[in-house]
Amino acid sequence: MIAVTGADVAVGGVAAVVEAYLAHLTVERGSSANTLRSYANDLRRYLEHLHDRGLGELAAVGEADVSGFVAAMRTGPTPLAASSTARALAAVRGLHRFALREGLVAIDVARAVAPPALPKRLPKALPVDQVEQLLAGCIGDGPAPLRDRALLELLYSTGARISEAVGIDLDDLDVAERTVLLRGKGGKERIVPVGRPALAAVEAYRVRARPELAARGRGTAALLLNARGARLSRQSAWHALRGAAEVAGVDAEISPHTLRHCFATHLLAGGADVRVVQELLGHASVTTTQVYTHVTVDALREVYALAHPRARG
């Protein structure tokens, strides 16, 4: 959290408003710990920017000051990527909206400040045979390989984010119904099907590996455990994914979302309705999901160009 000095306690003091805004996100919005941490870091940068301009009261901040913050993030000594700058601006705009609602300022000076243009990137998905190769990269019968295989199978079978996968508790998995409860962004929950290979990998882990890992800890409801018997972290899950890729010899670019992208792309390529995929991914808007349709169309276009006799005419 942001430290508040005595000079900031006055109504409208920037640091005090930041503290109040973060408390609002925690209590009333129920924002996740990761979101709060990111917002706190971004708003700390904003405080430093305003301090350098001699601005201690939010009411004294103008649109040019907010625009200057965005420019500084992109061109400073350690420039941020456009996506990171856009996230920082989102935190700043949220702060100013909050201040306006609370009657601390008369106008929202951040409302019209636009984020930097983001490069348009299509999600990178592996072909099915490379996914199979990746899943086979978890070799061995020890607790860690069995857990990692269960993790990767779950990611590809459900389209879960890594944070959602490590958040699964034992009771969230319904083996009889072949479903799992996932907790997504903003605390939203969804139930998604789980394929038989993933269920088999999870069962192997639960029977042959989890008891040994759990004995090292103090007891937790988490399905996936680390070497100390506590819930597996996102960072450790990401390392497991990258390690499996190295062992399997998959030299394609791997990211924490790789198997999620593969899940969506392969479903759409198999004829799944985009709105069904939207529900499975937990996207609020179908337009977010539709980016995957471009991947499929590009793949079809390439096949057409190579194989269709009239494609070269």
Question: Which CATH number do you get for residue 164?
Answer: 1.10.443.10
For residue 312, the model assigns a pLDDT of 55
Orientation of helix 33-52 relative to helix 82-101, angle to 10°: 80
> What's the structural domain count of the chain?
2
pLDDT in tens, the chain (313 residues): 444 333 333 445 899 999 999 999 998 888 788 889 999 999 999 999 999 999 989 999 999 999 999 999 998 788 888 888 999 999 999 999 999 999 999 999 999 998 888 776 666 789 999 999 999 888 888 999 999 999 999 999 999 999 999 999 999 999 999 999 999 887 889 999 999 999 999 999 999 999 999 999 999 999 999 999 999 999 999 999 999 999 999 988 888 899 999 999 999 988 888 888 999 999 988 888 888 887 777 766 676 677 766 665 4
Residues 162 and 71 reside in one and the same domain:
no
Active-site entry in 147, 149, 183, 260:
260
For residue 135, the model assigns a pLDDT of 92
Query: Model's pTM, two decimal places?
Result: 0.63
8-state DSSP, 257: T
Is the residue at 197 inside a domain? Answer: yes
The boundaries of the domain holding residue 166 are: 128-258
Active-site entry in 161, 210, 231, 261:
161
For residue 6, the model assigns a pLDDT of 35
Catalytic site residue 292? yes
Catalytic site residue 257? yes
Q: Which of 63, 83, 101 is the last residue of a domain?
A: 101
Active-site entry in 45, 190, 206, 257:
257
Residues 55 and 157 reside in one and the same domain:
no
Residues 158 and 60 reside in one and the same domain:
no
CATH at residue 21: 1.10.150.130
Catalytic site residue 283? yes
- C-alpha pair distances (Å), 15 with each of 46, 203, 274: 10, 50, 44
Is the residue at 254 inside a domain? Answer: yes
